[in-house]
Amino acid sequence: MAFTGDYLRRIMRRYPTDVSVVTTAYRGAFYGLTANSFISLSLNPPLVLVAIDKRARTHEAVKGSGVYAVNILAHDMEEIARRFATAPPEERFRDLKLAFAATGVPILADALAYLDCEVVAEYPGGDHTIFVGRVVDGAVLNDKPPLIYYDRGYRSL
């Protein structure tokens, strides 16, 4: 029997992950999606990576702009996580308090922290592209606990 994507998903549900929203700006519009495929890659130079589904509008916007921000969500931002995962793209930024990073990408002002990144490499990853970003700026914005995703649900520490 072949190992399937569905079985991988079932196993990965047992692995708790952070919840972040990846944002970018491209051709005068904002793009964003909820991601839990974000990791720190290197401290020197400071590098992170995100994997974005090739079918997502945010994928083409990150490719085109060459920049993105990772907004790490606080425990009270579950509605934001759900919005960026399921709402139509034109609804995702509606009525949100935003700031702007050095690269010009939107930052969720109520996020726990953010990292502002310039894409330095792209790698194929099946149905995703892995975007390696050099961190050019970032900050911790508050002391709240993080939002966690585990076993098909959002949780807090």
Q: Within a 10 A sphere around the Cβ of 65, how many other Cβ atoms?
A: 18
DSSP string of 13-66? TTS-EE-EEEEEEETTEEEEEEES-EEEEEETTEEEEEEEETTSHHHHHHHHH-
Looking at the DSSP assignment, which residues form a beta bridge with residue 115? 70, 138
- pLDDT given at position 150: 82
In this prediction, residue 76 carries a pLDDT of: 96
Residue with tokens 């944002």: 23
Q: Which two tokens stand for residue 130?
A: 């892995």
For the cut 90, the answer to whether the pLDDT of residue 70 exceeds it is: yes
Q: Is the pLDDT of residue 15 over 80?
A: no
pLDDT digits 0-9 by tens, 100-129: 999 999 999 999 999 999 999 999 999 999
Residue 91 backbone phi and psi in degrees, to 5: -95, -15
List, for residues 39-49, the tens digit of each pLDDT value: 999 999 999 99
Q: What is the pTM of this model?
A: 0.92
| Average pLDDT in the chain | 94
- Could you tell me the pLDDT band of residue 156, with boundaries at 50, 70 and 90? confident
Q: Which fold has domain 5-156?
A: Pnp Oxidase; Chain A (2.30.110)
pLDDT interval class at 8 (50, 70, 90): confident
